[in-house]
A = this chain, B = another copy of it.
């Protein structure tokens, strides 16, 4: 009986490397993220936007109770994908870190600083036994001085800054749209519309404002805030207007 490396049991604990130096448990935690709702972030010249396509399966659910975008501090917001209870735990932790920074240094925490703190915490759960890694990826958006920032963390505790990125089930489809159409000189409004394009593609034209969650921060206010339902609907309508009369193209996403 020929057995592959996972079958040999290298994937039963985070304290065990596989013969080729992989941590299977961390890779499996990434699978939990790949099965999550799609969250995207896009950085513009003058701000950052976070978008989440909440999958709501029943009209009996209060849509707003599926919260995927969270404010961490006045100037920082995050979007999460993966295990929802893990995400809530990480968000709570980040909020406390932000307040500790204000109390200790009397100034708001840097966006990159908090991103690293989240990642360091996640790394711990990939090196010590008796725990499992976090099954959650987090997009972190904010303004450092006057510069928009957008970070992505994954279950390993790795950290990358992106111009535009997505996590969750629809990541591949979103990344195709972003690779094709993102440009560095976009303003926040174009960034939102780019997100709408990606959503339009991934849903094959079936955009639904009521299941969308959008968060935004711009360099003028430096205040992270979530869009009201009306604001979301506005953008959805604009997007639908654009595609009026055209045959929706086939989504290339594999989710």
Contacts and interface: CB of A to CB of B under 8 A. Distances in A.
A33 interface: yes
Given A60-B179, A129-B129, 5 more contacts: A15-B132, A23-B32, A60-B162, A88-B159, A129-B130
Nearest to A22: B32
Interface string A191-203: 0000000000000
A50 to B, nearest CB: 15
Nearest to A11: B19
Contacts of A134: 127
Interface string A16-29: 11111111110011
How many copies, total? 7
Given A21-B31, A21-B33, A66-B160, A131 B86 contact: no
A61 interface: yes
Given A9-B12, A126-B85, A60 B163 contact: yes
A83 interface: yes
A249 B128 CA distance: 45
B59 A179 contact: yes
Contact of A162 (B1, B62, B85, B175): B62
Contact of A151 (B21, B65, B127): B65
A125 B159 CA distance: 23
A182 B88 contact: no
Contacts of A161: 61-62, 64-65
Interface residues of A, number: 75
A35 B22 CA distance: 9
B8 A7 contact: yes
A122 B160 CA distance: 25
Interface string A139-178: 0000000000001000011111111110000000001001
A85 B122 contact: yes
A221 interface: no
A30 interface: yes
A156 B15 CA distance: 15
24 contacts: A13-B15, A14-B132, A15-B129, A15-B130, A15-B132, A17-B32, A20-B28, A21-B28, A21-B34, A23-B135, A59-B163, A60-B162, A61-B160, A85-B119, A85-B122, A85-B158, A86-B123, A86-B127, A88-B119, A88-B159, A127-B131, A128-B130, A129-B129, A129-B130
